[in-house]
Amino acid sequence: TEPRIQELAAKERAEPGYCRRVKDFVVGRRGFGSIKFLGETDVRRLDIESIVQFNHREVIVYRDESKKPAVGQGLNKPAEVTLLNIKCMNKKTGQQYTEGTKVEKYKEMLIKKAEEQGAEFVSYDADKGEWKFRVKHFSCYDFGDGDSEELIDEDANAPIL
């Protein structure tokens, strides 16, 4: 987390009530991505490990719908999500594309994917394989691996992902 849990505890001791209004709180998992909760977030009594789950190319916040608070409460609020390992690849050769028309088509597909999930596309860094988008609240946001999401490499007739 950012700030780290230890820092939050120290700030709360020094300034009672601090954890009620942590600005731009970040939760992440190395190699998978992060979520920046926009504005002030009340982080008291949150079991982050059970609420936020990062998997390969997906993040789930409040998997158990019955435990999800109202929009604007807990972590069910506006956030910027960064997913890693979203690379434009030729599956046959393992080659990563970092520029050109294939990357532009891939970016268009990510824009559409964000819109389909009720999110707002922010950016895509093809070199890093980093996709950012904003959400108004949470459910499951993922890249997906189904055939319908694959791009076709016209040169080799191989799917790119």
| pLDDT for 91 | 87
Could you list the residue range(s) of the whole structural domain that residue 58 is in?
5-135
- Supply the residues annotated as catalytic: 139
Closest CA to 155 of 112, 97, 76: 97
Per residue in 105-146, pLDDT (tens digit) is: 999 999 999 999 889 999 999 999 999 999 999 865 566 654
Please give the residue that has the higher pLDDT: either 145 or 13: 13
Residue 27 contacts residue 1 (beta carbons within 8 Å) = yes
Do the domain assignments include residue 124?
Answer: yes
The CATH number of the domain holding residue 68 is: 3.30.1610.10
Do the domain assignments include residue 85?
Answer: yes
Residue 39 contacts residue 61 (beta carbons within 8 Å) = no
Per residue in 44-74, pLDDT (tens digit) is: 999 999 999 999 999 999 988 888 999 999 9
Cβ atoms within 10 Å, residue 72: 11
Domains identified in the chain, total number:
1
C-alpha gyration radius of the chain: 18
Do the domain assignments include residue 148?
Answer: no
Residue 73 contacts residue 46 (beta carbons within 8 Å) = no
Do the domain assignments include residue 149?
Answer: no
CB neighbour class for 59 (10 Å; exposed up to 12, middle 13-18, buried from 19): buried
Do the domain assignments include residue 142?
Answer: no
Cβ atoms within 10 Å, residue 15: 9
